[in-house]
């Protein structure tokens, strides 16, 4: 059940990231507003596809527990106070990597379909 929650959460993050990038590409006013009115760090975090995916996965890792309390096995004893930060970090990186993989796979597939429909078949949609 943990794996299913993890995968579904990653798909949700990837979907939200793709949707956000579509909004940025479709709306010049939104894109310029994000880049121009926000500090450079936030503008870059909201306009870079990989950056946005990882920041969104951090937000999700902070409010959910995709691994249901699972921690990787440690070689030595750690203070119990370190368990929560380590669990959040592991969740963040795992969610971010799978979400980025899904997101970029979708983008590549979308480009291939676009090329097939518009260039190989010579059709205008």
What's the confidence (pLDDT) of residue 122? Answer: 67
Collapse the DSSP code of 123 into the 3-class scheme (helix H, G, I; strand E, B; otherwise coil) and give the result: coil
**DSSP letters for 73-87:** PPSS---GGGHHHHH
What's the confidence (pLDDT) of residue 82? Answer: 86
**What residue has token string 């380590």?**
86
Average of per-residue pLDDT across 3-19: 93
**Which among 4, 29, 41, 21 is positioned nearest to 106, based on CA atoms?**
21
**Which among 30, 3, 17, 40 is positioned nearest to 106, based on CA atoms?**
17
What pTM was estimated for this model as a whole? Answer: 0.79
Phi-psi region of 69 (alpha: psi -120 to 50; beta: other; left: phi over 0): left
Report the first-to-last Cα separation within the chain, whole angstroms: 41
Dump pLDDT digits (tens) for 56-108.
Answer: 999 999 999 888 878 778 888 888 888 888 889 999 999 999 999 999 999 88
Q: For 18-22, 109-113, 117-121, which range has the lowest pLDDT when averaged over its residues?
A: 117-121
Domain ranges in the chain are: 2-120
């Amino acid at each position: 059940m943990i794996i299913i929650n993890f995968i579904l959460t990653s798909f949700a993050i990837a979907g939200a990231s793709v949707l956000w990038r579509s909004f940025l590409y479709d709306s010049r006013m939104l894109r310029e507003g994000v880049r121009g009115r926000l500090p450079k760090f936030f503008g870059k975090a909201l306009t870079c596809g990989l950056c946005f995916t990882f920041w969104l996965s951090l937000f999700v890792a902070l409010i959910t527990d995709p691994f249901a309390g699972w921690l990787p096995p440690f070689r030595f004893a750690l203070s119990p106070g370190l368990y929560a930060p380590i669990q959040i970090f592991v969740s963040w990186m795992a969610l971010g990597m799978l979400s980025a993989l899904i997101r970029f796979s979708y983008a590549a597939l979308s480009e291939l379909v676009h090329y097939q429909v518009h260039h190989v078949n010579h059709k205008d949609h």
